[in-house]
Amino acid sequence: MSLLDHFHKDEHPFVERVLEMIGRVENRMVTVRTDFLDPGQVFIVQSLVKRSHGVFFSFFGGYDGAERVRVILYPEYQEPEQEDFGMKGLEISGGGGSYLTLDHRDYLGALLGLGIRREKCGDILVHEGFAQLLLGEEIVDYVRLQLTKVNKVTVEGKEIPLGQIQQVAKTGKTITFTVQSPRLDAILGDVFRLSRAKVLQPIRNGRVKVNWRTGTDPSWLLKEGDTISFKGFGRFQVLSLGKETRKGRIPVEIFLYGG
């Protein structure tokens, strides 16, 4: 069994890139930096680094608790500083009352519309009246000058120190229900009110991710803390799995983001 066999086929290109980067650190004793990664990709990096020799890694997303981060791989004697992660903050404001209706999807769509690749963008923090973007330093000036509209709302941007980044409380709602088994297909169907038959094919087609990694097994047993995303439907986190009831069902509590 090759190393790639331990990963989903969709992850193979990323795994190969990380292995190439690890090889550069091992053979040339240099420091290398990734673009912004999601938690699933960070897990892959961590697992591959553990197989290496003399390679260490550190990650940073612009503030404590960031979801999307840049990772630096380095030899033992070259531990990175914060500025080595190469990111800056950009605050977007404007638009008056209508501006308040803009959400994460609007900002991400505006960035992608400028030709910016997703991996150059970190977290997008939407506040009341403004938003803060974490971006690779190599694109900050371009975005600041070119991002003038977000979903038809006129906006303007200014660079801000990372120390001024403000975290946002997660928005959504808590949902409780019971299932016969904490299988991926069962919980996914209940959360989005779909029959199990209607979630099987999307799971097998790779439209569902468990903890940011593609999950194609409908029978996968979820556990507390797991985060599941369903392309086109949304994302939720399993908060708790209770004890089996007398009727043989398991109480489930989830948090549905943005609900």
Residue 214, φ and ψ in degrees, nearest 5: -60, 125
With beta carbons less than 8 A apart as the criterion, state whether 194 and 234 touch.
no
Q: Where are the alpha helices (DSSP H) in the chain?
A: 12-28, 39-50, 104-113, 140-146, 184-191, 196-204
* pLDDT score, position 6: 77
Complete domains list, the chain, with CATH = 3-85 (3.30.1370.160), 87-164 (3.30.70.330), 172-257 (3.10.290.10)
62 — pLDDT class (breaks 50, 70, 90): very high
Phi/psi region, residue 142 (left: phi>0; alpha: psi -120 to 50; beta: rest), is alpha
| pLDDT (tens digit per residue) in 188-216 | 999 999 998 899 999 998 899 999 888 88
CA 69 – CA 55 distance, rounded (Å): 19
Q: What percent of the chain is modeled with pLDDT above 70?
A: 97
99 — pLDDT class (breaks 50, 70, 90): very low
- Mean pLDDT is lowest, of 94-98, 163-167, 206-210, 220-224, for 94-98
* pLDDT score, position 20: 96
How buried is residue 254: exposed, middle or buried, by Cβ count under 10 Å (0-12/13-18/19+)?
buried
